[in-house]
């Protein structure tokens, strides 16, 4: 069975655990660096990326996640998690893992539209999928290797570069299982290869 961990230091990890289990993965919460060893994939949830960075300073999380990726692990960052994966973070700038060749602009939709739910164009996932945006970032300056899996008004909101996926929204907060299912299927394929 494909083992997918969810970084459980802060933020919305419970809903991801449910969504992953429903998608057929063995879902586990990840609270210590050592928990990564037994996983095929790691989901980095939404929350507050600066708070997450502070909590991640307690253990060598950056080194461990980069090593996890280098040894073939898959990653999926949603919202704050996507910000942590980016090559570069803007407004304001802050450290990031640099595992996804995009720039992430934090809180890009302004205060007026703090959170909203909308339908996204996702032809790769079979049509329109719902997405919940909460103080969401915007992904810009996409590298050539980035594949856009879903967009909103022409802007990329779900992207992937091989084993690394990122969503600027919260797929775990809707009842639509397609995004978690597609991720778990891709992890299973990597595992079988």
From residue 89 to residue 118, the character string flagging contacts with ligand GLN as x (rule: CB under 6 A) and all else as - is -----------------xx-----------
As measured in angstroms, the least distance from the Cβ of 135 to ligand GLN is 4
Region binding ligand GLN by CB under 6 A among candidate stretches 34-42, 78-86, 117-125, 174-182: 78-86
Q: Is 180 known to be catalytic?
A: no
CA 140 to chain centroid: 16
Contacts of 65 (CB under 8 A, 6+ apart): 36, 42, 75, 97, 99
When binding is defined by CB under 6 A, the residue of 3, 29, 48, 163 that contacts ligand GLN is: 48
Residue 43 has a CB neighbour count (10 Å cut-off) of 28
Question: H/E element holding 115?
Answer: strand 115-122
Rounded Cα–Cα distance for residues 111 and 101 (Å): 27
Q: Is 18 known to be catalytic?
A: no
Rounded Cα–Cα distance for residues 13 and 113 (Å): 23
Q: If binding is defined by CB under 6 A, does position 80 make contact with ligand GLN?
A: yes
Q: Is 105 known to be catalytic?
A: no
Please give the DSSP secondary-structure letter assigned to residue 38.
G
As measured in angstroms, the least distance from the Cβ of 134 to ligand GLN is 4
Active centre residues (catalytic): 79, 170, 172
Binding site for ligand GLN (CB under 6 A): 46-49, 79-80, 83, 106-107, 134-135
């Amino acid at each position: 069975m494909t083992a997918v961990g969810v970084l459980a230091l802060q933020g919305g990890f419970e809903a991801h655990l449910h969504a992953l289990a429903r998608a057929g993965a063995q879902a586990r919460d990840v609270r210590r660096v050592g928990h990564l060893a037994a996983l095929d994939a790691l989901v980095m949830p939404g929350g507050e990326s600066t708070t997450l960075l502070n909590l991640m300073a307690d253990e060598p999380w950056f080194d461990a996640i980069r090593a996890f990726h280098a040894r073939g692990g898959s990653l999926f960052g949603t919202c704050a998690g996507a910000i942590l994966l980016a090559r570069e973070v803007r407004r304001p700038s802050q450290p990031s893992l640099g595992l996804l060749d995009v720039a992430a602009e934090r809180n890009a939709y302004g205060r007026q539209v703090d959170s909203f739910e909308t339908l996204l164009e996702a032809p790769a996932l079979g049509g329109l999928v719902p997405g919940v945006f909460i103080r969401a970032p915007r992904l810009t300056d996409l590298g050539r290797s980035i594949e856009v899996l879903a967009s909103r008004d022409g802007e990329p909101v779900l992207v992937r570069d091989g084993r690394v996926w990122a969503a600027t929204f919260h797929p775990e907060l809707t009842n639509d299982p397609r995004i978690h299912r597609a991720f778990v299927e891709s992890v299973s394929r990597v595992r079988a290869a």
